[in-house]
């Protein structure tokens, strides 16, 4: 490569430190600062979205309308999803990408630092609009996060603001993804070839492509909703020659890849953590890369499995059933590779490893119930029940959220220079894992017995399991306060972390000091260092 291997800085008053005060955070172009902002933002949103979930579970604690108005209940299910997807999991992964990708590649920063700042600083404004709809006269969005017409078109005035908030977030996602693609292709240190990159970088590269390809489609779909509502177009009205089902097709063309946007970076995190604590190289690195790419490709041709009961030609139902089942092949490759990595490893069970193993087991439970849902005739029975809720919460909570928690425990010594409290971390893991199963496992039972989702009341025979699930929900929610305590404690102090932090850790991020200096790899690492520290 003909590129120089150094970096230089503009507007430099103090070459190696951040600007003082609030300006540092508002104007920053530093990938570590922006990563930190993203992570704190998503932690805050995690508790907002979590509070909404607890309102839902409090209402469902007993049958009958107990606590909230049914319309508000509908707003809570809708907003809980929007906040958790767009406000928690996605920004948290972008935050990790910001912190880790430049360090993993031996790059001085992200490729487009000013754009990076904008990608973050859109998020608080976009979510101000989104959350403010809850306080409008007409109430927040209540037709489900999928915004299906015609129901969603019957919303009150807050509809326009929901649509614009989605556009606003979309701008952030697309800019952030473009930045990540440019960073990975253009900022790697000389000698860091693509197949030497950590899997977290690989999974993010593929995720970024999914985002660039699908977020604009989502923007198009919600724009059509907006014009149907305010400008008299007929995209989703049969009377005008359109079709409400068409929205579902366009939405899920975005929505299914979105599901993988929420899980592929998690795969990358787990693929980083398991080799460290098994003290063995990752089993099947190449197959992991190809499996990730296959999952991404398949994600574009499975969307209508969300619509088996909506009405489609039989040939389409069969196609989407088989294409969906094919996804279990590359996903299976990944699960087997993680297990094979642990096989005969010199394993230790520090908190990140516990969460990673929890991920592998419980994500697989969610994957298997997904396989059940993929079978069209079976899905016609399960569709719209709590079984679906159990399925996607297993892949998202002990899946995506566990990977985020694992990543935090794994890298926080590098971010702060301090070790977290291992004992509290372990308590956090075990309370979370017990309660998350108490919360979500009974949903399989009530779902198979026919309890519909998104309804504030239910038939008496579902009462026992719902009460148990609600107890699990409050237990899991309060266990996360412990997580905040561990994080805050670690930021404020603790045993000093070494540069390597973990005995078996591999990767360039472990070659810099702990805490990582404000600027890292202003001079690219040597090829020898890269060759000693890659997967």
Interface stretch with other proteins, choices 165-173, 298-306, 349-357, 389-397 (CB under 8 A) = 165-173
Is 233 marked active-site?
no
| 157 belongs to the binding site for other proteins (CB under 8 A) | yes
Does residue 263 sit in helix, strand or coil?
Answer: coil
| 22 belongs to the binding site for other proteins (CB under 8 A) | no
Here the tokens at position 133 are: 């709809």
Closer by beta carbon to other proteins, 185 or else 485: 185
Total residues contacting other proteins by CB under 8 A comes to 82
Closer by beta carbon to other proteins, 3 or else 343: 3
| 438 belongs to the binding site for other proteins (CB under 8 A) | no
Position among 41, 86, 93, 121 found at the interface with other proteins (CB under 8 A): 121
Q: Which of 256, 383, 428, 534 is catalytic?
A: 256
| 190 belongs to the binding site for other proteins (CB under 8 A) | no
| 131 belongs to the binding site for other proteins (CB under 8 A) | no
Smallest CA-to-CA distance from 420 within 495, 504, 482 is with 495
| 186 belongs to the binding site for other proteins (CB under 8 A) | yes
**Is the separation of the CB atoms in 469 and 60 below 8 Å?**
yes
| 117 belongs to the binding site for other proteins (CB under 8 A) | yes
Enumerate the β-bridge partners of residue 385. 452
**Is the separation of the CB atoms in 7 and 522 below 8 Å?**
yes
Position among 189, 219, 439, 516 found at the interface with other proteins (CB under 8 A): 219
Position among 230, 290, 297, 322 found at the interface with other proteins (CB under 8 A): 230
| 235 belongs to the binding site for other proteins (CB under 8 A) | yes
| 221 belongs to the binding site for other proteins (CB under 8 A) | yes
Here the tokens at position 178 are: 């473009």
Q: Which of 31, 32, 80, 444 is catalytic?
A: 80
Q: What x/- string results for residues 291 through 320 when contact with other proteins is judged by CB under 8 A?
A: --------------------x-xx------
Closer by beta carbon to other proteins, 97 or else 221: 221
Position among 100, 174, 390, 419 found at the interface with other proteins (CB under 8 A): 174
What is the C-alpha to C-alpha distance for residues 216 and 204, in angstroms, rounded to an integer?
18
Q: Which of 334, 383, 393, 414 is catalytic?
A: 334
Position among 182, 347, 455, 467 found at the interface with other proteins (CB under 8 A): 182
Neighbours of 142 (CB within 10 A): 23
| 17 belongs to the binding site for other proteins (CB under 8 A) | no
Is 317 marked active-site?
no
Smallest CA-to-CA distance from 374 within 319, 331, 330 is with 319
What is the C-alpha to C-alpha distance for residues 323 and 319, in angstroms, rounded to an integer?
6
Backbone angles phi, psi at 385, to 5 degrees: -110, 175
Sign, CA dihedral 333-361-397-326, equals positive
Contacts to other proteins from residues 195-214, by CB under 8 A: 212-214
φ/ψ region of 38 (left if φ > 0, alpha if ψ in -120 to 50, else beta) reads: alpha
Position among 129, 261, 282, 419 found at the interface with other proteins (CB under 8 A): 129
Contacts to other proteins from residues 80-109, by CB under 8 A: 108-109
State the minimum distance, in angstroms, from the CB of residue 430 to other proteins.
41
| 473 belongs to the binding site for other proteins (CB under 8 A) | no
State the minimum distance, in angstroms, from the CB of residue 127 to other proteins.
11
| 497 belongs to the binding site for other proteins (CB under 8 A) | no
Here the tokens at position 413 are: 């010594």
State the minimum distance, in angstroms, from the CB of residue 108 to other proteins.
6
What is the C-alpha to C-alpha distance for residues 64 and 13, in angstroms, rounded to an integer?
64
Is 271 marked active-site?
yes
State the minimum distance, in angstroms, from the CB of residue 227 to other proteins.
7
State the minimum distance, in angstroms, from the CB of residue 527 to other proteins.
18
Q: Is 475 exposed, middle or buried (0-12, 13-18, 19+ CB in 10 A)?
A: middle
Neighbours of 168 (CB within 10 A): 18
Contacts to other proteins from residues 242-281, by CB under 8 A: 242-243, 245-246, 249-250, 253
Backbone angles phi, psi at 273, to 5 degrees: -80, -45
**Is the separation of the CB atoms in 110 and 187 below 8 Å?**
yes
Contacts to other proteins from residues 341-380, by CB under 8 A: none
What is the C-alpha to C-alpha distance for residues 369 and 140, in angstroms, rounded to an integer?
31
| 66 belongs to the binding site for other proteins (CB under 8 A) | no
| Residue burial 198-230, b: 16+ Cβ < 10 Å; e: rest | bbbbbbbbbbbbbbbbbbeebbebbebbbebbe
Smallest CA-to-CA distance from 307 within 316, 297, 296, 295 is with 316
Position among 168, 285, 387, 462 found at the interface with other proteins (CB under 8 A): 168
State the minimum distance, in angstroms, from the CB of residue 210 to other proteins.
11
Smallest CA-to-CA distance from 247 within 272, 269, 228, 271 is with 228
Is 453 marked active-site?
yes
**Relative orientation angle of helices 158-186 and 90-105, to the nearest 10 degrees:** 10
Does residue 319 sit in helix, strand or coil?
Answer: helix
Question: Would you please indicate which residues are annotated as catalytic (active-site) residues?
Answer: 80, 109, 145, 172-173, 256, 258, 260, 271, 305-306, 331, 334, 453
């Amino acid at each position: 490569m003909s590129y120089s291997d150094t970096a230089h800085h503009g507007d430099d008053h103090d070459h190696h430190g951040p600007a003082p005060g609030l300006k540092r955070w508002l104007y920053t172009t530093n990938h570590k600062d922006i990563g930190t902002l993203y992570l704190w933002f998503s932690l805050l949103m995690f508790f907002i979205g979590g509070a909404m979930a607890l309102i839902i579970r409090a209402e469902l604690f007993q049958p009958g309308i107990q606590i909230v108005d049914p319309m508000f209940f509908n707003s809570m299910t809708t907003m809980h999803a929007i906040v958790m997807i767009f406000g928690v999991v996605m920004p948290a992964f972008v935050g990790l990408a910001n912190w880790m990708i430049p360090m993993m590649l031996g790059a001085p920063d992200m490729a487009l630092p000013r754009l990076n700042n904008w990608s973050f600083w859109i998020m608080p404004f976009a979510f101000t609009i989104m959350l403010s709809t809850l306080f409008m006269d007409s109430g927040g969005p209540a037709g489900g996060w999928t915004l299906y017409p015609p129901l969603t078109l019957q919303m009150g005035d807050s509809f326009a603001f929901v649509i614009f908030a989605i556009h606003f977030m979309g701008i952030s996602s697309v800019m952030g993804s473009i930045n990540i693609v440019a960073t990975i292709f253009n900022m790697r240190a000389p000698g860091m070839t693509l197949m030497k990159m950590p899997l977290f970088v690989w999974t993010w590269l593929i995720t970024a492509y999914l985002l660039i390809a699908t977020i604009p489609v989502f923007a198009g779909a919600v724009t059509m909703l907006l014009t149907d509502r305010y400008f008299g177009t007929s995209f989703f009205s049969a009377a005008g020659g359109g079709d409400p089902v068409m929205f579902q097709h366009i939405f899920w063309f975005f929505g299914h890849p979105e599901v993988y946007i929420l899980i592929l970076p998690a795969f990358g995190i787990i693929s980083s953590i398991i080799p460290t604590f098994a003290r063995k190289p990752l089993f099947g690195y190449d197959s992991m890369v190809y499996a990730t790419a296959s999952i991404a490709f398949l994600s574009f041709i499975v969307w209508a499995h969300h619509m088996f009961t909506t009405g489609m030609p039989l040939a389409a139902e069969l196609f989407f059933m088989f294409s969906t089942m094919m996804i279990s092949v590359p996903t299976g490759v990944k699960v087997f590779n993680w297990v094979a990595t642990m096989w005969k490893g010199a394993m230790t069970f520090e908190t990140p490893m516990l969460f990673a193993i929890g991920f592998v087991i419980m994500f697989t439970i969610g994957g298997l119930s997904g396989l059940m849902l993929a079978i069209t005739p079976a899905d016609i029975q399960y569709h719209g029940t709590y079984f679906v809720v159990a399925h996607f919460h297993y892949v998202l909570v002990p899946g995506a959220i566990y990977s985020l928690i694992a990543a935090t425990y794994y890298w926080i010594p590098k971010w702060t220079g301090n070790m977290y409290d291992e004992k509290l971390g372990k308590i956090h893991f075990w309370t979370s894992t017990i309660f998350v199963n108490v919360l979500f496992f009974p949903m399989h039972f009530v779902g198979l017995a026919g309890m519909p989702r998104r309804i504030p009341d239910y038939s008496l025979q579902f009462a026992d399991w719902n009460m148990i699930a609600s107890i699990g929900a409050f237990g899991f929610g309060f266990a996360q306060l412990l997580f905040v305590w561990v994080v805050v404690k670690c930021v404020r102090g603790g045993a000093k972390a070494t540069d390597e932090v973990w005995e078996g850790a591999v990767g360039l991020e472990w070659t810099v000091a702990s805490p990582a200096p404000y600027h890292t790899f202003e001079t690219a690492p040597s090829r020898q260092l890269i060759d000693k520290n890659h997967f």
